Amino acid sequence: MTMTRTRSKPSAKREAILDAAQRLFLVEGYAATSMDAVAAGAEVSKATIYAHFEGKDQLFAAIMHRRCEASFAFASPDESFDAERTFTTYAERLLGLLMTPDAMALYRVVVAESARTPELAQAFYETGPIRGKAAIAASVACLQARGELATDIDPLVIADQFIGMLRAETYHRALLGLPEGRSVAKTIAAAVQTLMRAYGKR
Amino acid sequence: MTMTRTRSKPSAKREAILDAAQRLFLVEGYAATSMDAVAAGAEVSKATIYAHFEGKDQLFAAIMHRRCEASFAFASPDESFDAERTFTTYAERLLGLLMTPDAMALYRVVVAESARTPELAQAFYETGPIRGKAAIAASVACLQARGELATDIDPLVIADQFIGMLRAETYHRALLGLPEGRSVAKTIAAAVQTLMRAYGKR
DNA sequence: GTCTATAGAAAGATAGAC
DNA sequence: GTCTATCTTTCTATAGAC
């Protein structure tokens, strides 16, 4: 009752600040978001923000952690699926996540700040991409053990290549705010086909 | 002799401004680079910058065009190469280009600004990535015609997937400023192998 | 913890002389 | 075209009352 650790008590104001900051950072970007705007959005005074967070940097870091934790909670496909269906399911889930406006906006800001704030980029990479990749690699290893995929290739390499193909043209255009090129469905189908032709055992 | 079109006369001051701006934008990022800093770097007054460029936006756009034109001048591999060697050569040239600190810094800024300046992202995409992709797709079509690659696949799809695999983990980590994971050489070898296993005709 | 009010610095852009 | 000097705005951060 006497303790008041900053992190443990999610006061209403604190949550309001986080919500407003998330909305603004992801829509406007880091530099273009002012603390005044966050204060206005949270209907809170600026001084209150500084009572809860050390500064703009820390506030953004808090947002990023929150988003990554929420986003990359990644259910694996059913283990009874064959290789093709496993890949397809992963692809749909991954792109469904990555193509979210929020996820793309977060990624834009992380990329932009990575040159000046490597810790941020590292935290992002470890709570985000690495977990997705590990999940896919684990499934690949499982499929290899079952004899559905060739075994003379590192599961991590397959996972990287798969994610790379999924993040090619279609995702890339969306990230840059350009009109859609190839459809997501075609991108997925093509990536799955390539991996199956290269490493499938049927 | 009487004409003084802004673009045609590359005055020394103008070049100095562009050089200083390029260095600063790519190292510090767009937002973190002030016009004062550019002026100081170019040893020129701020007013002179505004005499040559409409504002910060236009200045950055000029930098980006200059870089893209210079970077993506992309020689195709020898036509006598087989598929494997063609892919490998492209991969080395492409990653040699993309992994340049300058190229990564430019890409970071373009990504960051794309949400607020779509024209910039579009100009980048068209002077940069699209040209690289078209060059690779053309070579793929040529290899298909020679019977070295399967013909039941769109050359553009192969080009996209190839670039995607090359830009996966290794490049991605570098972009985010993280320590190197897999080596560039291994990434290239693995991507070429996957494409050859899937679509090679030997 | 929360507010009002403001400090203090830095930014983008321009006026006017030469 | 180029400069010096300055305007105006906006930003992060804080002091001090409650």
| Number of domains within chain B | 2
- Identify whether residues A117 and A40 lie together within a single domain: no
- Identify whether residues B100 and B175 lie together within a single domain: yes
Which residues partner with B149 through β-bridges?
B200
Contact B52, B6 (CB under 8 A): yes
Contact A187, A168 (CB under 8 A): yes
Nucleotides of C under 7 A from a protein CB: 1-6, 10-16
Residue A4: is its pLDDT beyond 60?
A: no
Residue B9: is its pLDDT beyond 70?
A: no
What CA–CA distance (Å, rounded) separates A167 from A188?
10
Would you say residue A5 lies in a domain?
A: no
The 10s digit of each residue's pLDDT in B178-202 is 999 999 999 999 999 999 999 999 7
- Minimal C-alpha gap between A3 and chain B (Å): 38
- Identify whether residues A88 and A143 lie together within a single domain: yes
Of residues 53 to 72 in chain A, which lie within 7 A of strand D by their beta carbon?
55-56
The answer to whether the C-beta of B33 is closer than 7 A to strand C is yes
Distance in angstroms between the alpha carbons of the first and the last residue of chain A: 64
Would you say residue B61 lies in a domain?
A: no
Query: pLDDT tier at A139 (50, 70, 90 boundaries)?
Result: very high
Query: pLDDT tier at A9 (50, 70, 90 boundaries)?
Result: low
- Interchain contact, B105 vs A112, CB within 8 Å: no
Contact A153, B97 (CB under 8 A): no
- Identify whether residues A17 and A91 lie together within a single domain: no
Interval A174-183 mean pLDDT: 96
Which residues partner with B200 through β-bridges?
B149
Would you say residue A108 lies in a domain?
A: yes
Contact B171, B99 (CB under 8 A): yes
Interval A8-35 mean pLDDT: 90
Which residues partner with A200 through β-bridges?
A149
What CA–CA distance (Å, rounded) separates B77 from B81?
7
What does each C-alpha distance from B140 to A61, A174, B75, B79, B157 come to in angstroms? 44, 25, 15, 11, 10
Interval B23-37 mean pLDDT: 93
Contacts of B39 (CB under 8 A, 6+ apart): B45, B46, B48, B49
Mean pLDDT, chain A, integer: 91
A41 CA to D18 C1' in angstroms comes to 24
Q: Is B200 helix (H, G, I), strand (E, B) or coil?
A: strand
What CA–CA distance (Å, rounded) separates A132 from B166?
18
- Identify whether residues A84 and A51 lie together within a single domain: no
- Determine how many CB atoms are found less than 10 A away from the CB of residue B26: 22
Residue B6: is its pLDDT beyond 60?
A: no
- Identify whether residues B93 and B34 lie together within a single domain: no
Higher pLDDT, A70 or B2: A70
- Identify whether residues B127 and B194 lie together within a single domain: yes
- Identify whether residues B26 and B86 lie together within a single domain: no
- Minimal C-alpha gap between A98 and chain B (Å): 15
The enclosing domain of B42 has a CATH number of 1.10.10.60
Would you say residue A124 lies in a domain?
A: yes
Would you say residue A29 lies in a domain?
A: yes
The 10s digit of each residue's pLDDT in B85-121 is 999 999 999 999 999 998 999 999 999 888 888 888 9
Chain A residues within an 8 Å CB radius of B161: 165, 168, 190-191, 194
What does each C-alpha distance from A156 to A131, B68, B181 come to in angstroms? 12, 33, 12
Q: Which nucleotide is nearest to B59 (CA to C1')?
A: C12
Would you say residue B41 lies in a domain?
A: yes
Residue A72: is its pLDDT beyond 80?
A: no
Would you say residue B1 lies in a domain?
A: no
A10 CA to C6 C1' in angstroms comes to 30
- Identify whether residues A111 and A47 lie together within a single domain: no
- Identify whether residues A151 and A189 lie together within a single domain: yes
Query: Domain residues for B17?
Result: 12-55
Task: Output phi, psi for A72, to 5 deg.
Answer: -90, 15
Q: Is B53 helix (H, G, I), strand (E, B) or coil?
A: coil
Residue B164: is its pLDDT beyond 50?
A: yes
- Identify whether residues B155 and B88 lie together within a single domain: yes
The enclosing domain of A155 has a CATH number of 1.10.357.10
Burial of B80 (0-12, 13-18, 19+ CB in 10 A): exposed
User: Distance from CA of residue A39 to its chain's centroid?
Assistant: 27
- Interchain contact, A111 vs B110, CB within 8 Å: no
Contacts of B31 (CB under 8 A, 6+ apart): A30, A31, A32
Higher pLDDT, B75 or B191: B191
B163 touches chain A (CB under 8 A): yes
Would you say residue A128 lies in a domain?
A: yes
Mean pLDDT, chain B, integer: 92
Residue A51: is its pLDDT beyond 80?
A: yes
Interval A67-83 mean pLDDT: 85
- Identify whether residues A47 and A81 lie together within a single domain: no
Q: Which two tokens stand for residue A81?
A: 């699926």
Q: Which two tokens stand for residue B21?
A: 């701006």
Q: Is B153 helix (H, G, I), strand (E, B) or coil?
A: coil
Residue B1: is its pLDDT beyond 60?
A: no
